Amino acid sequence: MYRSVFVSGLLAGKVILVTGGGSGIGRCAAHELAALGAHVVLIGRKLDKLQTVAGEIVADGGAHVGHVSFHACDIRDEERVRGTVAAIVAAHGRIDGLVNNAGGQYITALEAISAKGWQAVIDTNLTGGFLMARECYLQSMQAHGGAIVNIVADIWGSMPGMGHSGAARAGMVSFTETAALEWARSGVRVNAVAPGYIASSGMDHYPPEAGPMLREMAETVPAGRFGNEAETSAAIVFLLSPAASFISGSVLRVDGARPQVRMGWGAVQAPVDVQQRDAVKAFDGFHRYQTPKVFSSS
């Protein structure tokens, strides 16, 4: 099963939604949450991907610890979101946690982004997350409390080549801070996790010509490597857990100090032997993790 650093049964009985649960960070987080006893509800646009992940969790014994179910839903569609959340509440009585993970973007310069392309990324990475959070709050958390974790990105210092995504993620950070304030009276915590360069399956969605750039990005990270899905999932679980009960409105960065890099500092990459020291050694928690194909091609 999943090799979580958290105590067994930590989230027993909790109902936690994971959007974008069919791949990447969402898939990994779903595995860990189920391994810790939660009933995980996978949400995504492609039913077959959700069914595959649900089958993995059951096969790994997750159904004997937590449970798993899934709903196909386009989070950009307000009525679909409202109906999906209503169905989950009807089935389980409440929603204890939401991992707002669904997102997507494409690489292009600002001057080449059409209004349609811009809106599509804003709707996926900002509006959809807002709709999911709002409905979870209105239909359950307002009455029962809960915790929300919004997945954003390394927006500090801008996102050249992905200006549409950077704008949406910055908006989600602001939404996180506002929701933390407005919903605190209902016993709801709202935080964000900002992954930096994470070697996730999402990298394989970029065109082949982006491969060299993606493979070279680790050279700009002081930690000298990419992060992985399990390291991001651990941050998500912590913010959903009782240990974070006094944390709200915060952004937890998982980025190996990448935003601190400044011109003129010189070499920032740690020697390979340093990367094996316990404090910074990669955490290999997800037993089903596979290295993105982009790193195995030349």
In a domain, 7, yes or no: no
In a domain, 266, yes or no: no
In a domain, 124, yes or no: yes
Question: What's the CATH code of the domain at 129?
Answer: 3.40.50.720
Q: For 85-184, where are the E strands, in sequence order?
A: 97-100, 146-151
Q: What is the pLDDT of residues 222-269, one digit of tens each?
A: 888 899 999 999 999 999 999 999 999 999 999 999 888 876 666 677
Least confident stretch, 79-88, 151-160, 176-185, 272-281: 272-281
Could you give the dihedral angle defined by the CA atoms of residues 48, 54, 55 and 59, in that order, rounded to the nearest 10 degrees? 170
Q: What is the mean pLDDT of residues 62-72?
A: 78
Q: For the chain, where are the E strands, in sequence order?
A: 15-19, 39-44, 67-72, 97-100, 146-151, 188-195, 251-254
% of the chain residues with pLDDT over 90: 68
In a domain, 252, yes or no: yes
Q: How many domains does the chain have?
A: 1
In a domain, 129, yes or no: yes
In a domain, 2, yes or no: no
- d(CA 202, CA 198) in angstroms, rounded, equals 9
Question: pTM score, two decimals?
Answer: 0.90
Single out the residue of 96, 117, 120 nearest to residue 45, CA to CA: 120
> Tokens standing for 78?
């307000």
Question: Would you say residue 106 has pLDDT above 90?
Answer: no
Q: What is the mean pLDDT of residues 131-152?
A: 98
Single out the residue of 245, 288, 284, 29 nearest to residue 145, CA to CA: 245
Domain residues for the domain of 284 are: 15-257+272-295
Q: What is the pLDDT of residues 33-60, one digit of tens each?
A: 999 999 999 999 999 999 999 999 999 9
In a domain, 267, yes or no: no
